[in-house]
Every structure is written in C-alpha cells, then in structure tokens.
Amino acid sequence: MDFLPVLLWTDALFFLLLVIGAVTVFFVRRSEPLSAAWRKVGRRATGMASATILLAFLVVGVLDSLHYRPQLPPVEGAQAAYSSEVLSALDALLAPLRTRVEKTYSAPFAAELYARETVELPEGGQARIYPRLQHGAAHLADPEAQRPADVGKRLAVGAMIAVPAWLVAVLGVAAGVAGRSGGGLLRAVGAIVRGETTLAWRAALVTLGAIFLVVGCAIALAPAYHVFGTDKVGQDVLYLALKSVRTALVIGTLTTLVMLPFAIGLGILAGYLGGWVDDAIQYVYTVLNAIPAVLLIAAAVLMMQVVIDTHPEWFATAAERADARLLALCLILGITSWTGLCRLLRGETLKLRELDYVEAARAFGVRTPAILRRHILPNVMHIVLIALVMDFSGLVLAEAVLSYVGIGVDPTTISFGTMINAARAELAREPMVWWSLLAAFVFMFVLVLSANLFADVVRDAFDPRRA
C-alpha cells in the first residue's frame, strides 16, 4: 500500500462514541417517548439549524481522525518504508493549504509578506521592501490592480459550486418528505419552502446552503490566496483552524465518556441507598469541588507529562506522543468535572425512590440492581442528556483556556487554544498580527454557539417541567 493506516487512542474512542451514537439512534427510533422528544427538537428551526452546523463540524472531525503514514519513495532492493509523519484524510484533502508554506506572516488575501526585508537591488545597493509571497496571489502580475476582479470571479465560481450541491440536497430531502407523505416531489418542495413539514427542513436547508456557499468560496479562493493569512512560520491559518476542530470535538466528547460512569453510578447510588453511602459520595465530590479546578488539572497534566517524557519508547511517532497527552487531558477533565452531574442525579434519585412504583418493586422483593436499572436509570436519562449537551461547549472553552496558559494539549497539537496562545505575542508586535486570533475566534464562536443553541432546544424538549 501507498500508506500505513494508523489508529490513535483518541481515534478509537472517538469512533466508539460514534458507534454508541448510532446504536442510541436505533433504540430511540424504537421508543415512542424518546422519538416524540427528539421530534420536538426537529420541529424547532433553531434545533435543526444548529444540528446542521454541528454535523458539518463532525464531518471535519471524522476526516481528521482517519490517520495514516505515507510511504517513502521506494529504494531498489529494500522493503517499503513509511514516513514517521502521521497525516489524516483531512490533510490529504487540504494538501494545497498544508504544503503552501510561506516564509513568515502574511495578511489575509495578501500578495506580500507582512514584514519588510532587506534585498539586493539589480542595479546595486539595498532596499527595505515587502517581498512577494511564494504562493499567495502569485498568479497575479499586478496584485493591487488585479486582485479585486480575481477575488470576485473566484467568489462567483464558489457560488456556482455551492448552488448545484445545495439543489441536490434539497431534492434529496424533498424526495424523503414525499416518500413519507405519499405526495409528489413538487408538493414536497412547496411544503419545505412554506415550512409545513413535520421537521424544520427549511431551516436545515437554509443553513446547509450557507455552509455550502462558504465551502465553495473557500475551495475557489484557497488555491490562490491565504484566506486567513499565515502565521509566524508561514503556515496557512485556515488550515490550522480546520485542524483545530478535531481537538475541540475530542475534548468535548471523550471527556463525557470518562465522566459518565462516575456521575451516573455515584449519583444514583447516593440518592437511592442513602445512609453512609450517600455521606461518603457527598464527601468525595465536596472535597473535589473545594480544590481549584485549574490547580488540580495543572498538577495532573504535569505529572502525566513527566510519565510521557520518561518513557519515550512507548511512542513510535510524535503524533502518538501528542495523542497520549490529549487523551490524558480528556481523562483529567472527565475525572474533575463529574461532580455537578452527580449532584443533579442524586437529587433526582432522592425524589424517584419515594414514588409508588419504586416502593411497590421493593415490596415485591425486586433486588436493588434491578430497580436501579429498570426504574431509576431510565427516568434520569433526560438529565444526563441535557447536562452532556450543555457541558460540551464548556469543555471546548476549557481546552482553549488550558492551552492558553500552557497546561492543555501538547504544543505540537493544533487546537484553538494553541492558536490563541500564539496570537498573544502577535497582538503585541508592531504592526499587529490579528488574523490568527480572528480565525480561532470565528471557528470557536460558531461551534460553541451552535452547541449552546442545540443544548437549549434539547433541554426544552426533554425537561418534563417544560412539557
């Protein structure tokens, strides 16, 4: 093969979560109460629009989780050898952005470097000028005069790419609506336009159209320009922002995989059993809450970093080493963030254990594990779901803050936090380099806002008090 597949620990756990999500969808479709609650989410325009944006981010994360090591140029008489550099399917798709490296900073859509350099003039002597970029706007002989028309033409090409793809999506959704309703395709399209479908497909398709338009314009512009400029070492900032999406998703999702067993198990046991079990669990999460979270996380991350540094033989590549620290950060955040959900589940279980059907089960001699599994756990899952969706954005922001102060992901791991940390020094220079911070802010803002809006809709749909 031309490449060697690589499965990192975070890749395996991320795909495991996707499988769990698919299984959950299967069971939701078989449960009428759960299906009815999710239909409430789908009827809200905000829910469908935010879900569409989150799905787009998920596609980027999945592509960036398919890792491989490319094969080195073959040597006659030698076995196939593979590079120590670990790439992903997203890297392959973004190869023009990844490989078009400039010398240093350049502004968005610029044709010259952002800093002056001393060059030798052909007629002799020296001058301080802004050198032309090797790749950005290199196809233009006179960038100042030709760039506006060239950018406009490429934006039109991007729109021409986006519109047909969007129309295909509209027809696909209309065909599905027509199949369910038994009407014709045109009638289904009219129902979508008027917003008369069971689910808010109009909002989803409008959002999808905006996503296609942005992607189409990026596809048309990125081969010729650095849309978000370049950083200190000349890397394309748009490429860095897209690579940061996977880190944010991994932090936001894998942390929940660690947090759930502690929160659900201890919360339900504390609320149902009471007595010394309740006192012991309350003591544990009270002590954890009393310790400043940043100090606890910093101590754990530094201890884990010492373990990683003293055992280099555990890792075949630098990517595996960075992945180990990312996984460790997920474990640490999960272990330190379960207390809030545990407290909520304890309070809900205290109420549920006094209900008639639970007391009847105890009176008939049903064992405690069976009562917890059949009567308590299903009735607290709405709290679990609401808490998980609402905590996602907090975990994404936590990674950015921790990486900013230097105790987050490995410095070689691209993330929103490392981009913001690098932008800290760039903002203090003259002239100011602002585009790295802007790119990280835009992507993180859209991701967190979509997660928060989706969380609000899920809370309204699953909270019994809002029914």
Q: What is the dihedral of CA 405, 411, 414, 415, to 10 degrees?
A: -20
Q: What is the pLDDT of residues 253-284, one digit of tens each?
A: 888 888 888 889 899 998 888 888 889 998 98
Percent of residues, the chain, with pLDDT higher than 70: 98
pLDDT at 105 (0 to 100): 86
Q: What is the pLDDT of residues 303-339, one digit of tens each?
A: 888 888 888 888 878 888 888 888 888 888 888 888 8
Q: What is the pLDDT of residues 181-197, one digit of tens each?
A: 777 788 888 888 888 88
Chain centroid to CA 392: 9
Tokens 């101590």 sit on residue: 299
What pTM did the predictor assign? 0.88
3-state DSSP assignment of residue 68: strand
Which residue in 63, 50, 59 sits closest to 389, CA to CA? 50
Q: What is the DSSP letter of 4?
A: E
Are 8 and 322 contacting, i.e. CB atoms less than 8 angstroms apart? no
Characterise 373 by phi-psi region: left (phi > 0), alpha (psi -120 to 50), beta (else): alpha
Tokens 């009735």 sit on residue: 379
